[in-house]
Structure 1
Amino acid sequence: MGRVLDHGIYRTSVHGRENIPAQGPVVFAANHLSYLDGPVMVGAASRYMHVMVRHDMFTGLLGWVLHTSGQIPVNRTGDRAALQHAKGVLDRGDCVGILPEGTRGTGDAANMNGGVAWLALNSGAAVVPVAILGTRRGNEHRDTIPRPRRHLHVVFGEPLKIAREPGVSGRVSMDRATEMIRLRLAGHIEAATAATGQDLPADDDLPSKHKGQ
């Protein structure tokens, strides 16, 4: 389905696929603009991944598709079981996809939850930053589904290995790892927008006092 979206419905340019490790566990960490980001990322990657998807999407026909294709339901308010499920995928040498911003926004990775760092630290998986561009742009609403034939970009960055820091608590180690990954992803997104010429969208849903910041 991801490949149909990428190359049948939309025109997707894929960059940096050579950065994806050919084997071993990988966490793909992508920015989040649109409902399409997960499947577009799956279709662009050279390895199959199990994406962590909001649990309330697992209903009806879509829920059946998500379940049978091995996607992982996650409750964004805190879901240890989902993280353990994802760790099991990584422990067998497979790949997990995650949108660590947690919700659709400008996609600049200004904020990030700690799930990626927890998975990397507890599985030894490489983290591949992914910039997804064009699934939403300009002032389009967060619920916008782009028209067919739009040009999308998926840019895979160089993998990052995370290790526990000696002499610091687990909490501090994870906080530092989360910030390290966030900075790498944010820098990768900035470089991808410059290289492709595709800007990030405006944020249509922040309180007015935060707009423009």
Structure 2
Amino acid sequence: MSVHDTLPRTTTTPHPPTWMLRGLRPVSRWLLRRRYDVRVHGSERVPATGPVIFAANHVGVIDGPLLAIFAPRPVHALTKIEMFAGRMGGFLRHSGQIPLDRYATDPRAVKLALRVLRDGGAVGIFPEGHRGAGELERFHRGAAYLALVTGAPIVPVSMIGTREPGGHTGSIPPRRARLELVFAAPYSLDPTPWPRRRDHVEQASLELRERMLHDLREALAATGRSLPGPLPAGEQLPDPSGGVTGTTT
């Protein structure tokens, strides 16, 4: 039996496109480094082959592109469906990013992510569900669920410098700003067969959050950096329900 026959089945789910994602990464890195001082730490910790889940904190609007471009492996990131409108939507789809409805159960997004992992690829996810302080106060179940289904290791990623202190929700860092991506050691959860209980996924998510908080503190200490703090008053983004921790205020 194929791994794609395992519940939830992905036998008929197409793999997201990869040609643009792979082809544009080198030139995209070159272009971004002309504007920013991008530093990547811990890339040697990322498994070179096999499925992997990159789970990152979410600070600024450029976090997703930075992860897709500078991760050691091409990343199919779960991206809010609102970003897939107009020309940007066509680009995101052709570059293999996965549209996600954050406000409803989205089985297609789940199956697309599982397809990538079951084919030995890399998926990116931001467990906070939206941009903010990046301190993992709100934490969702998606990363742990994908790991429990596939057995793929989770690599925590700390995004640092992608929004200035006091920066607005859609702001990008000024020219020559130092942007840092810190990849921590992989974290593994034992794969769990169908059916997977909600309380089991929740407990695994809480354990992953503690691991990511530890790695985030180490990344900040090692780089001598700090997070930008919350978004300005009145700019807090809608908070999807379903997190395993309380809603931020």
With normalisation by structure 1, the TM-score equals: 0.91
What is the RMSD of the two structures over their aligned residues, measured on CA atoms?
Answer: 2.1
Alignment of 1:69-80 (within 5 A): 69-78=95-104, 79-80=106-107
Q: Distance in 1 between matches of 2:111 and 2:179?
A: 32
Q: Distance in 2 between matches of 1:98 and 1:177?
A: 16
Task: Give the structure 1 partner of residue 110 of structure 2.
Answer: 83
Tell me, yes or no, if the aligned pair for 1:111 and 1:182 is still in contact at 8 Å. Answer: no
Distance of aligned partners of 1:64 and 1:4 in 2 relative to their CA distance in 1, 3 Å threshold? farther
Task: Give the structure 2 partner of residue 140 of structure 1.
Answer: 167
Deviation of 1:205 after TM superposition, in Å, equals 4.6
Give unmatched runs, 5+ long, in structure 1: 208-212
Number of equivalenced pairs = 208
Q: Distance in 2 between matches of 1:196 and 1:9?
A: 20
Distance of aligned partners of 1:106 and 1:123 in 2 relative to their CA distance in 1, 3 Å threshold? same
Does residue 163 (structure 1) correspond to residue 198 (structure 2)? The answer is no
Deviation of 1:204 after TM superposition, in Å, equals 2.4
Does residue 8 (structure 1) correspond to residue 69 (structure 2)? The answer is no
Name the SS of the counterpart of 2:201 in structure 1. helix
Task: Give the structure 1 partner of residue 200 of structure 2.
Answer: 173
Name the SS of the counterpart of 2:182 in structure 1. strand
Q: Distance in 2 between matches of 1:29 and 1:119?
A: 11
Name the SS of the counterpart of 1:147 in structure 2. coil
Q: Amino acid of the residue matched to residue 87 of structure 2?
A: L
Distance of aligned partners of 1:190 and 1:138 in 2 relative to their CA distance in 1, 3 Å threshold? same
Q: Which moved more, 1:37-46 or 1:98-107?
A: 37-46
Q: Distance in 1 between matches of 2:122 and 2:31?
A: 20
Task: Give the structure 2 partner of residue 210 of structure 1.
Answer: none
Give a deviation string over 1:34-54, Cα, whole Å, max 9, x none: 110011112221111101111
Q: Which moved more, 1:105-114 or 1:141-150?
A: 141-150
Q: Distance in 1 between matches of 2:192 and 2:203?
A: 9
Task: Give the structure 1 partner of residue 122 of structure 2.
Answer: 95
Task: Give the structure 1 partner of residue 144 of structure 2.
Answer: 117
Q: Amino acid of the residue matched to residue 90 of structure 2?
A: W
Identity %: 40
Distance of aligned partners of 1:106 and 1:129 in 2 relative to their CA distance in 1, 3 Å threshold? same
Name the SS of the counterpart of 2:72 in structure 1. coil
Distance of aligned partners of 1:197 and 1:120 in 2 relative to their CA distance in 1, 3 Å threshold? same
Give unmatched runs, 5+ long, in structure 2: 1-24, 235-248
Q: Amino acid of the residue matched to residue 100 of structure 2?
A: V
Q: Amino acid of the residue matched to residue 73 of structure 2?
A: R
Task: Give the structure 1 partner of residue 85 of structure 2.
Answer: 59
Deviation of 1:27 after TM superposition, in Å, equals 0.4
With normalisation by structure 2, the TM-score equals: 0.78
